[in-house]
Structure 1
Amino acid sequence: MVDSGNTYGDKVSKLITWGHWFSFFNIIAAMLIGTRYISQSPWPETLLGQTYLVLNWIGHFGFLVFGFYILVLFPLTFVTPSQRLMRVLSVTIATAGMTLLLLDTYAYQNLHLHITPLVWDMLLNNDKSNLNTQWQYLFILVPVIFLLQLSLSEWVWNKLRKLAHKHVGRPFAILFSVAFIGSHLIHTWADASAYGPVTAQRATFPLSYPMTARSFLEKHGFIDREALTKQIQEEGAGGAQEAMRYPLEPIKFKSKQTGYNLQIIMIDSLRADTLNHTDTPNLTRFAQNNVNYNNHYSASNNPTSLFGLFYGLPGNYVDNFRNSNIESPILAELHNRNYTFGLFSGDDFNSSLYKQIIFTKDEIGEPKEKMSDSKAISQWNDWFKAQTPDKPWFSYLELTSVSEYDATSPISTENSDQSAFEVNYRKAVKKTDQQLKAVLNALKQSPDWEKTIVVITSNHGMEFDETNTNSWGSSTNFSQYQLRVPMLIHWPEVEPELIMTRSSHLDLTPTLMESFLKTTTPSESYSSGLNLFTQDNDRNWLLAGDRKNIALITNTNTVVIDTFGNYKVYDENYNRLTDEKPKLSLLMQGISELKRFYHPKK
């Protein structure tokens, strides 16, 4: 009985009314705590994006708290014998929920991730990092939150009669319902339209699973799948752009004197193990006479690696740079020093990254004929002969025949002959190596050879299901077959050397910036890589990945982490280690690197 002699029905009715008001004030508290997510996220630049953010903020926390009340506290109302016990249980549960929400905002602020088993381990493990210590201090607030919840519970119970006459329950219920339904309808449209300012907010709040209906709309003819896919490829998957803090400090140079010429040769999809006397005799000879980084990893298993090569940053920054007009620090300085640019590609720079981020449309120009590697090399040769010693130049030559070896024989996952496809691939490699011979000879015979830096590498590797995971080509996993590529550098006055320590595409930017352009600004201000010429020893980990996943590659394993903080651990041969846990201190370093150049818009 409640108080003195009330019936069971009266007791339950009063507890239900109390529970509604107790939940309402906790919704307000959750919304106030939730403003921390908004402050640590980019403010949408469009009115619709801002409208969605407000509606999602109101509707999500209203649904989250009230839904928890309906699923947990409401059933307890009918079985708990005492109103005091019911209120204590409610206060305890509310304290736990608010504490968890507060801790989640801290995780989001520092790691840009919500609480998952991985994040929980990172913040409660025995590695006494500064982040770990600050996180544990937050538990001091638990008694404070409990006392506040206890006070709220008592106040609502004593003011229940007055609150019942306020007649504000229905308007607020309508507000929360409209906000919840409206936010999901807006996201459904935004997802079907690839409207970035809305879809980029899908992971802002915890336990957020906004509604989508792309398959349903596509099935009934409301959207064009091919057009939508093309739009996403051209505009990026992220949409709304976080404010960039790039570079972290102004980039300065020791001098502005013109120095070496720079030639970069990119061979699409060239695996590291093709560098041998059988498949690539010309490249192998070049490697023996110059600096050969024999344990080199691409920045990604897809064309995102090009961004890593020119910017020295992991692929999660791609969409933010796509429309930011932030030029590669290397190319920006070459432009400042009035270098002549010569850009050539066997597929006319088919990757959207070239025209939207790395180069400009004016630099690339419009295609006048269908391109091929032989035509690109011919055009490069004509351009190269026209260069004069008094004007420094930069040239980029992309060869794509290797990646197109199977264009007329698509792989069948049911009846595939691995060796046959690999044979065709290596035939394409040999042909490209023969074509490249003319380019290397032209460079060596030039009077400018000893003042020309030559970099030869690949964007990513190519797999023939060596991992036994039905993986073919690229973009399917982060194994060595898809990530390890050649990195050969001719640098004037640098002796030939075979370097076995691990290196990354992210290292090329600081190498060129420091050793070629003579910057005095520390590399960590504009890059995630290290100078290839000044690395003392093998680092603990390398960073690779794309827009959705990151891969931390260590000496013994590879850890793949998705955008929600879930992880998988693989051994050197990319076999899944289900019982293996990654070293949390290294994971924190890797995840921190992914947000180092972001800052919230004010």
Structure 2
Amino acid sequence: NYTDSILSNHTPSVLIKKLQDEKYQFVAYSSTAFKDSLFKQALFRNVKLPKVKASSPKEAINGILSLLKEDKPWFAYVDLDIADQTEENYTKSLAEIDQQIDDTLASVSLENTIVIITAEHGTTFNKLDEKEQENYFGRDEIQVPFIVYWKDLPVQEVSKLTSHTDLLPALMSSIFKVKNPISDYAQGRNLFELNGDPWVLASNFRWNVIIQPDGTQYHIDRKGNYKKFDRTYTEQSSSRPPLGLFLEVFKQERSFINK
């Protein structure tokens, strides 16, 4: 909902702005050359990025690691992509990425480093046409790894519901000690408080999808069309949509739209 506005106004991320204020150096690499315009037009628009010349992700990571040895605060962003997503090659590609991550962590001092590993989305091997794929919110598509290392966090596995939107509030409030209410700048909750979310939101340009801890999903579009799915992504008959929950979601979704 905010993408067009962010691109047209070149709106920077509050995290990127904070890192600049704190005099961080930036380095970033994408195996897709940052094909998403959000990176170049907004996130990294006024950020000086050193050029990382590389013919492969491994070369790029080595180049980034050489920079990180300099005695400066660094923000490093590495985006790796699985080009061949056929089921036969998927496991092999994941193993290669895991090895690249392992090599990277072995070369970084973790004393004063926060490491975040996650994915934009999962991959489904169901036989779906293009329209079905675009509107598919099965668990294999929306559940992704979310691994955070910081020496001040307890070692544990969190099974409660969380969202990518919970990361920014955690960094801003727990790392940079920003005192503003989270609702001033983000839609999520503080991931590091580890209380879990009562629901999280996924969406595309048509559907808002509310996901609850038990795996139940409620889909609603801007025309008021409504669907309910159980945790196995089987559509359920439902004549009573949770109107209170929908209102709560719409309020959050529109929280940064100028009135």
1:373-421, Cα deviation, whole Å (9 max, x unpaired) = 2232122122223x21xx2111111111x2x124xxxxxxxxxxxxxx3
* Residue 232 of structure 2 corresponds to residue 553 of structure 1: no
The aligned amino acid for 1:595 is: R
- 1:556: Cα distance to partner? 4.3
Deviates more, 1:486-495 or 1:507-516: 486-495
Residue 88 of structure 2 is matched in structure 1 by 423
Equivalent-residue separation in structure 1 for 2:78 and 2:133 (angstroms): 21
Partner of 2:122: 461
Pick the aligned partner of 2:11 from 300, 318, 326: 326
1:356 to 41, 53, 62: 41
- RMSD, aligned α-carbons: 2.4
Q: Could you say what secondary structure the match of 1:533 adopts?
A: helix
How far 1:361 sits from its partner (Å)? 6.9
**Residues 375 and 349 of structure 1: is their aligned pair in 2 closer, same or farther, counting only changes over 3 Å?**
farther
Q: TM-score, normalised by structure 1?
A: 0.40
1:367/1:450 CA distance change after superposition, 3 Å = closer
Question: Residues 202-227 of structure 1: CA distance to partner in whole angstroms, max 9, x if unpaired?
Answer: xxxxxxxxxxxxxxxxxxxxxxxxxx
Change beyond 3 A, Cα 1:430–1:374: same
- The 3 A distance-change label for structure 1 pair 367 and 494 is closer
Q: Does structure 2 conserve the Cα–Cα contact (< 8 Å) formed by 1:549 and 1:561?
A: yes
**Which residue identity lines up with residue 559 of structure 1 in the other structure?**
Y
Distance 1:506 1:393 in 2: 22
Label 1:367 to 1:459 Cα distance change in 2 as closer, same or farther (>3 A): same
Give the structure with the larger strand fraction.
2
Aligned to 1:340: 25
Name the counterpart of 2:79. 398
Per the TM alignment, residue 331 of structure 1 is displaced from its structure 2 partner at its CA by 0.8
Deviation per residue, 1:423-470 (Å, 9 max, x gap): 311111011112222101001xx3xx21111111111111111xx755
* 1:497 counterpart SS class: coil
Higher RCO (CA 8 Å, separation ≥ 6 residues): 1
| Matched-pair contact (CA < 8 Å) for 1:318–1:547 | no
SS in 2 for 1:452: coil
Deviations 1:540-580 (A, max 9, x none): 21111133321111124211222222222111111122435
Whichever structure has more helix as a proportion of its residues is: 1
The letter of the residue matching 1:422 is E
Unaligned runs of 5+ in 1: 1-315, 407-420
Specify the code of the residue in structure 2 equivalent to 1:405.
Answer: D
Counterparts of 2:113 and 2:104, CA distance in 1:
13
Structure 2 residue matching 1:440: 3-state secondary structure: helix
The alignment partner of 1:348 has SS state of coil
Q: What is the rounded CA distance, in whole Å, between the counterparts of 2:44 and 2:193 in structure 1?
A: 29
Q: Give the direction of change, closer, same or farther, for the CA distance of 1:563–1:473 in structure 2 (3 Å limit).
A: closer
> Percent identity of the aligned residues?
30
Question: What is residue 512 of structure 1 aligned with on the other side?
Answer: 171
2:64 aligns with 380
One-letter amino acid matched to 1:354: F
3-state SS of 1:463 partner? coil
Q: TM-score, normalised by structure 2?
A: 0.90
Q: Which moved more, 1:456-465 or 1:562-571?
A: 562-571
For 1:364 and 1:475, how far apart are their aligned partners in 2? 33
Q: In 2 relative to 1, CA 535–378 (structure 1 residues): closer, same or farther, beyond 3 Å?
A: closer
Tell me the number of residue pairs that the alignment of Structure 1 and Structure 2 aligns: 258
Q: 1:441 — aligned with what?
A: 106
Q: How far did 1:586 drift? A: 0.6
